[in-house]
Structures are given as structure tokens and as C-alpha cells.
Chain A
């Protein structure tokens, strides 16, 4: 850590940074209000799939960047799971050097356009911002600024492609093309390795494509990032399930020297409530995959989806928000969240909850489904819900929801989406019994190198963490890349 502190310090002392700091007094900076993101009107956007957030204009971005005080000790960086050099990229924006800002981001974050949109900044960088910590004011809108810089670069056509070192002829296999896998690929290709990413689905991007809806993260943006990787030389093989199409051993025979497992947490969970197998009751994975990946809402695409007028989504996380807001866009009259704890306790990103409320999603907090009913065709038509009250906190500090006896009542529904969390994908652990896994089904790895119990197999992202976030997956990917690099230097060096 010491060199990083020194680097930050010396960077801060560079002329351009000093100049910027001098150009405006601290008092002036702190008197600027936090920028308000331009958004589509709720009543317009809840019927289309276009991005809700429209982005900042250049002026807005520069003004917001001025708020940043370029602290001597930038606490914001400690809040970032991948340690982005936040003051530096923000100051580049203030300077008007937007392309330079994007370059700074790419030094530590392979997918800045993605993270700027989906990171829960309110509990990461922005929570550690000086404004929040010391001034008790709204933090610098670090997320919006990251998105601004990344979008600017993309739209300008001047996308900076990092330099690729001389090829060393060593083949590495990345299993899974979600954020963890893409992060590994991005680093390994830079260091001269031959990188092949194997993806089970027909599209690249994993949860970025099938899980996160267009109105939050357009697939087009993900594709730009993937294109960059292709340009750097990363090979992508879709429709390839490592473990069945070819085993790890077979790939070893084909010359792959190290593997990164980023197969994610895709196994859906149901509540095991009676009637849960009736028609039109989906796991959030199925519902979102049909709409986001298979474009089921578009009549030009063959895959159907059923999304009715009275949709209930069970759960309180981002996936539940994505599902319920999607249902609104697919024409629901009532889009309901049924969540067993209170509104404040919902784990979803604050912005998602706010947007959902604006879009007229109904929040039925302190409620839980106990039974589903269906018509003679087996289509769900009612859910029996029980009210909850909050009891003693469990060891996470969250109060335990306790059913209120006799409080059951019925709600008419024609579609239900169950979004209560996911489990790690069992394919790889099942095909490699020698791999150490936890009771949760996640792969055990060394915290620093991300090396698993099997030599040459590294892992990161949801397959190690259970359902986590995009940025954590990327952080794991970058750590794993470093771990793999060290491992391969030694392994190949010995040959």
C-alpha cells in the first residue's frame, strides 16, 4: 500500500492539480449543490426500455467535478472495491480533459461505463466522501462522473485501447464471460497472454446481458467493452460449457496452462410455498433472461414471455427492482413488490428504489406469500399473503420478520416473479470433485491470489462470493489475473 500512497501524494502535487485547486476556493466548491441527474419522466419511461438516466452534460459534469476538494487523504478511494484513482479522474473532468479522465478510469476499472451505472456508490465511494463524512452534505456524484467520462470516450469514437505487451505464447482459459471473466481477460491480454473466454450462453457478458435490464445498462454499452477486448486479441467462444462440452483436463491437453472460473451464481431459488409451480410464476432469472437476453418483449423475436396486468415480485434486492420495473414496461397495471421487511431495509440500490417508486411500483412491505392459487388451466390468479412484523435482530443486525397470526389476505395476480437470491452455479464444482467448496456451494480461494485448492484453477466473482456485485466481481478478476500472472511466471519459468 505504501507505494500507492506515495504515488497518490506525488500525483496530487503535480502542477495541473495544484493549479486546479488554486483556481477555486474551498468555500466556493462546497457551496455548489450536488448535481441532479437528468432522467426520463417516470410516466414516460415506465413504458419504454430506454435508459432512465440520461447522463450529465459537459457543463454539469465540470461543475460537479469542481465540488471535489482533492483531499490530502482521499477517503473515497478506500470505499472503492477496485481502488479507482477517484480524485485524479474527477480533476481531469474539471480540467476539461475528458478523454484523459477515461484513461485514468481504465487503469483500474475495465468496465467504467458499466460500474458508473450499476455500482451501489451510496455504500461505497460516495459513502466515504469527505462531504458525507465531515460536512454531512451530499457527496460528490462520483458515479455520475464515472459514467460521464466513460460515455464521453465511447461517443467520441476515440476509445483508448491499452497497450498490449509482446505475446508470450502462454494460453489461459477464462470460464464465464461475466464481469469477473471480462476483468481477467482484460488484464491477461495486456500482459501478453493468449486469452480464450468460454461462455455457456450464446451471448457474451453474463449477468450484464441477461440480468441487468436495458433501462439500467444497455447491452450496446456492454458490447462496446467486449469489442475493445476483441480488438486487444481476446478470443471469445460462445455455446461452450466447460465441464461438458470439454472438461478442464481436455483443455489442459489443448495447451491451456491456467484457468479462471467465473461461472457466477445463476442457480435460482424458490420459496417452496404451495402452488409455486403454477404457470406464470417465474424465477427472476427466467423472467429477466427472456426479456433482456432473448428480447421476448420485442415481437420480432421468437421467444415469448408472459407478463400480465397484475404482477407481483417477491424480494427486495436489485433483481426484484429490475423485475418489477420490467413488468411495468411490459404493460402491467399493478406492479407490486412483496417484501417481508421494511422499505428502509431493502438491499436494493437506493436509486433503483427511488426510480421504482416514481414509476408507480407498489411497495407491499412487511408482507410474505404463503400460497398461490390458479385457474383451471393452471395459470396463477391469486396469492395469499401474510403480514409480517419485525422481531429481534439476527446477527446481521437486521430484524427478523415474524408472521402475524391471522393476518392473511389475498391479492389478485396473473404473474409472479420470485427474486429471493441465487446460488452458485453447480456445474464446475460438480465436474471437479477435488475442488474445495464451502457449504454454500461457493469455491474456496486464497483471498489474495484467488487461487483455488486445485493447482492452476483460479476463481472469482459470484462463484466465490455468492450473489454479490459487478464491481466486486471485477475486483476479484483483477486480483485473480495478478495471481495467475505470478503463478504462470513461476510455472513456465521452471520449464
Chain B
């Protein structure tokens, strides 16, 4: 890549503090990258369910990313990022040894982990990454963990080995049948719900997926947690950009969530609000890709 372009992507602001170095980078597939970042304080306090807000450089946006993993001893946190727009694409292109200007966390409430019996974890696409630490935690707490992973095709199923390692059973669904069974995440969930009693379900993924996953578990009266990923600016409860309606009341995903009772969320409103900058973002991303020479 052109040196100027690379500098533009990874440019340090004039307040370079030498923090948040990328110590490891692994590409999980064509569009998903795993970054391990040096952030000792966050690594120490982080629990499953927490997220960070990150800003690459002085011109960058603040975006929320769930902490997929952390190593308190090494002082690192792991983020899994899918390139869908300008900022995520920039992260995708950054290298081991680069620095990220601003990383703040751990934000949000940690997942409430307890021993309930059987936990059904349903993850869609890049939602699998934040689901992993939660599945792990429930397994460690002594639960039977059944995991359903879903994506459009085989390439988009990520972290399969890690998920397998912490699940008693794993079902993989792909839209096109290129891996596992053909179908949607709800099909995989139904299979489980019909044959055995499930005490708790957790669902993370695109909003529309969580909506239907939630409708599925509602049929069987299984208490369900959904972890939401809305637009955010500050992430500390200051601006209200991330507001959702849960049980008729307005809640902020950044300070009241990110997890809520899946059956009480107004998904349609959330999906509507998620699209607020779609047009602008598409245009910006298009221009960015042109700059890259794609």
C-alpha cells in the first residue's frame, strides 16, 4: 500500500501517548480481523460482556467494540472486527506495531453469569466474537452450553474451534449450506428447543437476527439475553445516541446495557435507528475504497 495512504490510515495525532499498541494481528477470513491490543488496565478489569470505545487517530470516529478476550497477565485485550465501513476497514488494514490513539473501557455491564442448567448460545456472523467469552463463562460456571453459530456462508463462520472448546454441543448453520446445515440460526435453535429444556438463551448478532432469535425463544418461554450494538458517540451515558426502548422505557445501551431482556426490546425501533447514517456511511465508504484503489 502507498506510504501516504498508510500514514493517513494510521496517522498519529499530535497527542501520541504511546499507548494501545497492536501486538498481534490475525486475519480470520476475507473480512474479519482479530487484533490483540496492549491495554493493561482494561485487561485487568474486563469481564465477559464488556466493550470498549476506540478511536484510531485525531480525525477518527469513536466506535464501540466488544472485548472478545483479555489476558490480564499479559495486559492485552482482543478485538474482532469485521470491515463494514471506513473505521472498521482502517482497523482491518492496520498492522502489528501500530498504535491506536484512544481506547477506553471496560464499558457497559458485565454479563451476569450463574449456574442455571442449560444455556443456548446463538451467534450470528461477527456476533460470534462477543458471544465467545460469554459462552466460556457459562461453561466455566458449570452449565451445559449448546452453541448455534450462523452466517451466510462457510467463510463467515469465525472462531469455530474456540467455540467448540467451550460448548457441549455446537450446531453450525449457513444460509447457503456451504458448511454445517443449511438454514438460519433460528432453525438451529428450534432443533435444540424442541428436544430439550433450555434454562437460558443468549443471542448476539445483527439486529434482525436477534429479533427473530428472540421470537423463537419466546415461544418456548426461555428467558433470553440479547447484547445490543447500537450507534454510539461517547459511550459513557452522555449523549443518548444509543437509546433503545426496553419494556416501554428508554434505556441507554452504553450504561444500562449492552445486554437486555431480549423479549422486551423494541427491535423495529432499534433497527430503524441503526440506519440513521447509512446513506452517509455508504458514500464515505465508497470514497474511502476509491482512495484505496479498489
Contacts and interface: CB of A to CB of B under 8 A. Distances in A.
Contact of A289 (B86, B102, B233, B275): B233
Interface string A283-314: 10110011000110000111110100000000
B41 interface: yes
Chain A at the B interface: SS class: loop
A200 B233 contact: no
A270 B243 CA distance: 11
Interface in A257-278: 266-268, 270, 272, 277-278
Contacts of B41: 240, 245-246
A279 B238 CA distance: 18
B60 interface: yes
Interface stretch (B21-29, B64-72, B103-111, B129-137): B103-111
A377 B284 CA distance: 20
Given A289-B239, A302-B284, A304-B284, A239 B233 contact: no
Given A267-B238, A286-B233, A306-B277, A245 B86 contact: no
A180 B261 CA distance: 38
Band of interface residues on A: 35 or more
Contacts, number: 108
Contact of A302 (B87, B273, B276): B87
A378 B45 contact: no
Interface in A341-385: 377-378
B178 interface: no
Contacts of A123: none
Output the residue of A200, A300, A302, A304 with the most chain B CB within 10 A: A302
B199 interface: no
A202 B101 contact: yes
Contacts of B59: 295, 300-302
B216 to A, nearest CB: 25
Interface in B77-91: 86-87
A238 interface: yes
Interface of A: 200-202, 238-241, 244-246, 266-268, 270, 272, 277-280, 282-283, 285-286, 289-290, 294-295, 300-304, 306, 377-378, 425-427
25 contacts: A200-B104, A201-B236, A202-B55, A202-B102, A244-B105, A244-B106, A245-B104, A246-B41, A246-B45, A266-B237, A267-B237, A279-B276, A280-B276, A282-B240, A282-B241, A286-B239, A289-B233, A294-B61, A294-B62, A295-B59, A302-B284, A303-B233, A306-B276, A378-B275, A426-B255
Given A277-B269, A304-B280, 8 more contacts: A200-B236, A238-B17, A241-B105, A266-B238, A272-B250, A285-B238, A286-B240, A378-B275
Closest 9 CB pairs between A and B?
A286-B239, A378-B272, A239-B104, A266-B238, A202-B102, A283-B240, A302-B61, A268-B240, A285-B239
